[in-house]
Amino acid sequence: MLRRPYYFMKYFCLISSALFVSLFLNNKVEAMVYPSTIIHNAKAVEASSANSDPSASTASFRPVNQVVAINNTASALILIQDKKQPAHRTIAADDWEGLNRFTFKLNDKTDKLLFVPLSKGYRKITTRKMRKALRNFLSNLNTPVVLVNDLLQGQFKRAGQTTGRFIINTSIGLGGVADPAKHLGIPGHTEDFGQTLAVWGIPSGPYVVLPLFGPSTVRDAVGLVVDSVALSPLNYIQTGAASNARLSRFGATLVATREPLIEPLQEIENNSLDYYSSFKSFYLQARRRDILNGNSALESLPDIGDGFDEFDEFDEFDEFDEDIDGSIDSATENSN
């Protein structure tokens, strides 16, 4: 019946939209946790643990103590939502925890059996520069989605940066495999329709773990469908080649995204008493930071240890393709 993944996305869109509408028909109280309170109490819990057990203050136990402190504090500080608070100030309640935990375990098993081996194999047969080039290329392909959401959020300056980056990277950057725009002072950023809905004041709705796609909220699940179906230009080309391109892009995005997270996610799992709760906490805090475009106080969160330095790769990636950068700099100097 569903002969193409595109049709599956349509049905998923309808189901997600129905869940989204149910938010306005359901008069439940939504849980809210203030990050500043989490930080304060997390430090207090950590200090208490360190006083009761001197060995707990050592570097080897630091990630465990802080993850547990954050999770315990977040679960304890459940406040009634103030209707006047902006949507991005709230953290989604886990109303469907039983189902979410089941889906999380299923995703985790699938990840360990399929995606982790694929990602390790991909890492083994490629170089760091090749992997960075693929991420650049996929990011450039996603530019139309980012641009539309910049405009929908009224971020016209960022929309201009997005347009400039696309023109520069598509031309000088050899179709997007390089990022010369970054070296010209035009930094990249991400936007999606879930963030746009948050900016519009739409509440997040309950936290939900999607099969294969992982952690999300009802709002972000709807945003994912809109971005994937309505805002992606490739979906409007209904040919065999376009269908193959969509599947190839999906597979490449999955592996390219999963590969840098092999060690960080394993470290989180190893240092967490409850992997599900830790994963949820990190996701929701990171999501809030994305919605605020990085303008938040999350920098004051406790340090979770040196084992998580791999996350810096997403912000830096400065070691990629020096040859291309060198040729760009030379071309600039010659033109002057």
Domain residue ranges in the chain: 5-33+78-270+305-335
Instruction: Please check the confidence at residue 290 and state whether its pLDDT lies above 60.
Output: yes
pLDDT reported for residue 90: 54
Query: Which residues have C-beta within 8 Å of that of residue 317, sequence separation ≥ 6?
Result: 132, 135
What's the mean pLDDT in 164-183? 96
Give 300's Cβ-side CA count (13 Å radius).
Answer: 12
Tell me which of 115 and 24 has the higher pLDDT.
Answer: 115
10-24, 82-96, 153-167, 298-312: least confidently modelled range: 298-312
| pTM recorded for the entire structure | 0.66
Percent of the chain with pLDDT over 70: 60
Instruction: Please check the confidence at residue 314 and state whether its pLDDT lies above 90.
Output: no
pLDDT in tens, 229-269: 999 998 999 899 999 999 999 999 999 999 999 999 999 99
What's the mean pLDDT in 17-40? 39
Give the closest residue to 38 by CA, choosing from 305, 302, 317: 302
- Which residue carries 């930071």 as its tokens? 289
Name the pLDDT band for 293 (thresholds 50, 70, 90).
confident
Instruction: Please check the confidence at residue 48 and state whether its pLDDT lies above 70.
Output: no
φ, ψ of residue 211 to 5 degrees: the values are: -55, 130
CB 218 within 8 A of CB 205: yes
Give 272's Cβ-side CA count (13 Å radius).
Answer: 19
What's the mean pLDDT in 304-317? 40
Mean pLDDT of the chain: 74
pLDDT reported for residue 262: 96
CB 163 within 8 A of CB 147: yes
Name the pLDDT band for 333 (thresholds 50, 70, 90).
low
118-132, 203-217, 246-260, 315-329: least confidently modelled range: 315-329
What's the mean pLDDT in 77-95? 53
Tell me which of 131 and 45 has the higher pLDDT.
Answer: 131
Name the pLDDT band for 49 (thresholds 50, 70, 90).
very low
pLDDT reported for residue 69: 38
Residues in the chain, overall count: 336
Instruction: Please check the confidence at residue 73 and state whether its pLDDT lies above 90.
Output: no
pLDDT reported for residue 102: 98
What's the mean pLDDT in 173-179? 95
pLDDT reported for residue 98: 96
